[in-house]
Amino acid sequence: MTLSIFEFLNLFAALVLIGVSLHVYFSKHQKRATNVIFSTFLLFFSAIILRDNLDQTDTITYILVIESLFFGLAPLIYLYTCAFIHNASQLNNNDYLHFLPMFLVFLAFLYLSFFYSGVEYELINTLPWKVNIENITGLFLLCQFTIYLGMAIDKLRQYKFWLAEHYSTTEQLGFTWLNRFISGIFIIFTTGFLLFSFDSFTAFSLYLGNFDRWFYLGVNIFAVWAALYCLLTPEIFNCHFHFDQQQDNDEVSHVGYQSSKKPALDDIEPQQLTDYLAQLTTLMHEKKPYLDPNMGLKELAGKAQLPQRTLSLILNQKLNQSFYNYVNYYRVEEVKIRLLQTENRHAKLEGIAIDSGFRSSSTFNRLFKQHTQMTPQQFRQLQYQSLAAS
């Protein structure tokens, strides 16, 4: 049996996905639900990849059964996003309802394959119902992916907003991985829709030959990347933070402070608000709690002796900043101060950034330029030139 280059790459990708899937499933991580969902996603995807390597002169049973797995991918993507954000230990019973369309399609395909099990695959193309079935299932699959991918993106957007309101750094929270995973799927979905929905795009096939094979090869590469990324970055399964916006917004951690309703900024007396701001500013300048890269809203509220909800309201409504931007502003200012110190003239920027509370150089460079409109190196050179001129 001779394999073409595409068939060989398909087989290689499928074996990698199966291997990683089994490793993830049986590994003992805290986020058990994400393990199950992600490994199932990889298994479904590997089965779909292997479909192209099946001998299509045989009966159509396996072909049709595997086709039904397409309808399980979108729910898996959404449930994986939810499980990752909520740090779910297991799926709820209602979560399995998302796979009802997949099982209905599976039964329908299985019913058809029962009557046409002896028919060779090439002859299926001559059957009058084949085109109608393809159009109906294709439209349903498109709608399903659009809805579930939209919900996953919205859930990711909420997670990003929640992180900015509660944490000063997000590198350890797995947001980068989840953002890349969802973004990659969105790009693949959009590209596939454009390329295979409009006839004008088929002109690319004149230059690339079997264009659909090249597209599927790109999809396989993304799937293998996602699998290997998780294999080589196991800490994303141990993220102990979770998204529970309602619970965190209702949480008030302040001795002697009790309220039956959520406090609003208008409920705080002007003098008390002024005292709160002065109390917070004094803490940031004197104690410099922002030097701790793991500091969150709850920790800062405790150090400032303020209700967590009140601190969040002050930052959002009074200062018009998220907790993330507020804390990192002080970190940028700390870097600027240290860059002006003589003993740091030849110190590495990365070291100064870490000592100022940043966790990674990439985040430091991005936020520094956002606050100062210049890179750290440009700022340093400008300061040196100013000192030399004076």
The predicted-structure confidence for 37-79, as pLDDT tens digits, reads as follows: 999 999 999 988 887 666 554 445 555 667 788 899 999 999 9
Q: How confident is the model at residue 117 (pLDDT cuts 50, 70, 90)?
A: low
The answer as to whether 252 is a domain residue is: no
pLDDT higher than 50, residue 330: yes
pLDDT higher than 60, residue 118: no
To the nearest whole number, what is the mean pLDDT of the chain?
A: 79
pLDDT higher than 50, residue 261: no
Q: Is residue 202 located within the same domain as residue 302? A: no
pLDDT at 260: 38
Task: Give the least confident one: 24-28, 168-172, 279-283.
Answer: 168-172
Q: Is residue 138 located within the same domain as residue 203? A: yes
Q: Is residue 135 located within the same domain as residue 240? A: yes
Which of 245, 277, 300 is at the close of a domain?
Answer: 245
Structural domain for 270, as ranges? 261-389
pLDDT at 332: 94
The Cα 167–Cα 293 span in angstroms is: 9
What is the phi/psi pair of residue 325, to 5°?
A: -70, -35
Q: Is residue 327 located within the same domain as residue 302? A: yes
The answer as to whether 251 is a domain residue is: no
DSSP 285-321: HHT-GGGSTT-BHHHHHHHHT--HHHHHHIIIIIS--
pLDDT at 329: 94
Q: How confident is the model at residue 152 (pLDDT cuts 50, 70, 90)?
A: very high
The answer as to whether 204 is a domain residue is: yes
Task: Give the least confident one: 159-168, 194-203, 342-351.
Answer: 194-203
pLDDT at 347: 87
The answer as to whether 255 is a domain residue is: no
Q: Is residue 348 located within the same domain as residue 382? A: yes
Q: Is residue 84 located within the same domain as residue 228? A: yes
What is the count of structural domains for the chain? 2
pLDDT at 244: 43
Please compute the mean of the pLDDT values over residues 344-367 and round it to a whole number. Answer: 89
Q: Is residue 280 located within the same domain as residue 225? A: no
Q: Is residue 156 located within the same domain as residue 120? A: yes
pLDDT at 42: 92
The Cα 56–Cα 352 span in angstroms is: 62
Residue 76 belongs to domain with CATH number: 1.20.1070
3-state secondary structure of 167: strand
The Cα 344–Cα 352 span in angstroms is: 8
Q: Which of 122-131, 161-170, 380-389 has the highest mean pLDDT?
A: 161-170
Is pTM beyond 0.85? Reply is no
Which of 221, 245, 269 is at the close of a domain?
Answer: 245
Ramachandran region, residue 65 (left: φ > 0; alpha: ψ -120 to 50; beta: rest): alpha
Q: Which residue has the higher pLDDT, 159 or 115?
A: 159
